[in-house]
Amino acid sequence: MDLQAQLEELKKSTQAQLQAIKAENAKELQDLRVKVLGKKGSLTELLKGLKDLPNELRPVVGKQVNEVRDVLTKAFEEQGKILAAAKIQAQLESESLDVTLPGRKISVGNRHVLSQVTEEIEDIFLGMGFQVVDGYEVEQDYYNFERMNLPKDHPARDMQDTFYISEDILLRTHTSPVQARTLDKHDFSKGPLKMISPGRVFRRDTDDATHSHQFHQIEGLVVGKNISMGDLKGTLEMISKKMFGEDRKIRLRPSYFPFTEPSVEVDVSCFKCGGKGCNVCKKTGWIEILGAGMVHPRVLEMAGVDSEEYSGFAFGLGQERIAMLRYGINDIRGFYQGDSRFTEQFK
């Protein structure tokens, strides 16, 4: 084949190959351009044959080489544009919005069930004129134990062993130290003290389905003139009704706490069976929900409050216990593991 025919052949075959390149293989265009028009490409290769031609043919074939180069350069450019447009078109089609598809669910977080229970109980007490007081989780032995009538070496300390930071600094075992601190500051000329202190407390306990080394408590304290056991019972009855339903009754059983005298355990009639007996109340019809009592005179005296003139009552309940009863949760550890399958059930 002579040089002119070869040039013509190169033009045609390159054009054919260009047409065959698909949008998804746009890279092949660049490869082909290098192969044909590059410095070591086919056209350059053919150009080398120019020197072997007779003199009179050289300008003619030279002109043809330039024409082929121009035609092919233009063809590459055009095919490049076509492929780019096809790529955009394909992208548009593949990313097109199907308005008939259901939207993706937006996941909105919710308050932890213990926070919900705490806030609910706070609201009940705020409605009864109580103040809500926060305190320290790291406390002095003095406020946590001694001010609760639990001097060093008192046997009842064993029920509330805790984590010690030093001999006198510890993680509080109840929120009672908040009561002691608030009592110290209270100005009785402005009326009785009515407070609750919600918060996290700690015990040296082995974790199992019903015990945890940390849990939550709300303790309450009312101190004023002529505060009696009747006030305690009335207050607890009201709380029980608000938390577990209007038909609830309460029952007091004698108990012992170092900081109250007399002390009682408080049962509420079962909210599930109404007192007939079921699995929630363990067939007794009653559910133990809190401990309470009349503030021990010594606890008042240690705060500088005259126990002849003033009296008061105190109570404590656990948010975990309330939530477990109400929602049928059988393992306390679920509250602390942060598993969204657990926490999302309480939206």
Considering beta carbons, is residue 32 or 268 the nearer one to Zn ion? Answer: 268
Q: Which residues contact 222 (CB under 8 A, 6 or more apart)?
A: 192, 193, 194, 195, 231, 232, 235, 312, 313, 314
Q: Are 35 and 41 in contact (CB under 8 A)?
A: yes
Q: Are 322 and 314 in contact (CB under 8 A)?
A: no
Q: Which residues contact 258 (CB under 8 A, 6 or more apart)?
A: 148, 149, 150, 154, 156, 296
Q: Does 26 bind Zn ion (CB under 5 A)?
A: no
Q: Does 264 bind Zn ion (CB under 5 A)?
A: no
Bridge partner residues of 268 (DSSP): 250, 287
Considering beta carbons, is residue 73 or 284 the nearer one to Zn ion? Answer: 284
C-alpha to C-alpha distance for 159 and 44, rounded to whole angstroms? 97
Q: Does 268 bind Zn ion (CB under 5 A)?
A: no
Q: Does 288 bind Zn ion (CB under 5 A)?
A: no
Provide the residue type at 132 as one letter: V
Considering beta carbons, is residue 259 or 271 the nearer one to Zn ion? Answer: 271
- DSSP of 174-232: SSHHHHHHHHHH--GGG--EEEEEEEEEE-----SSS--SEEEEEEEEEEETT--HHHH
Considering beta carbons, is residue 14 or 269 the nearer one to Zn ion? Answer: 269
Q: Does 249 bind Zn ion (CB under 5 A)?
A: no
C-alpha to C-alpha distance for 280 and 288, rounded to whole angstroms? 11
Cis peptide before 192 (omega within 30 of 0): no
Rounded least distance, CB 328 to Zn ion, Å: 12
Binding Zn ion by CB under 5 A: which of 213, 272, 298, 333? 272
Considering beta carbons, is residue 202 or 286 the nearer one to Zn ion? Answer: 286
Query: Which one-letter DSSP state was computed for residue 289?
Result: E
Rounded least distance, CB 272 to Zn ion, Å: 5
Provide the residue type at 148 as one letter: M
Q: Does 326 bind Zn ion (CB under 5 A)?
A: no
Report the 10 Å Cβ neighbour count for 216. Answer: 22
Binding Zn ion by CB under 5 A: which of 121, 281, 295, 300? 281
Considering beta carbons, is residue 66 or 279 the nearer one to Zn ion? Answer: 279
Choices 46-54, 89-97, 155-163, 272-280 (CB under 5 A): range interacting with Zn ion = 272-280
Binding Zn ion by CB under 5 A: which of 278, 288, 333, 336? 278
Rounded least distance, CB 275 to Zn ion, Å: 7
Q: Does 299 bind Zn ion (CB under 5 A)?
A: no
Q: Does 273 bind Zn ion (CB under 5 A)?
A: yes
Rounded least distance, CB 273 to Zn ion, Å: 3
Rounded least distance, CB 276 to Zn ion, Å: 7
# of chain residues touching Zn ion (CB under 5 A) = 6
Angle ∠(316,317,322) on CA atoms, nearest 5 = 170
Query: Which one-letter DSSP state was computed for residue 285?
Result: S
C-alpha to C-alpha distance for 95 and 73, rounded to whole angstroms? 33
Considering beta carbons, is residue 272 or 333 the nearer one to Zn ion? Answer: 272
Choices 147-155, 223-231, 253-261, 273-281 (CB under 5 A): range interacting with Zn ion = 273-281
Rounded least distance, CB 326 to Zn ion, Å: 13
Q: Does 128 bind Zn ion (CB under 5 A)?
A: no
Considering beta carbons, is residue 37 or 280 the nearer one to Zn ion? Answer: 280
Residues that bind Zn ion in the complex, under the rule CB under 5 A:
270, 272-273, 278, 280-281
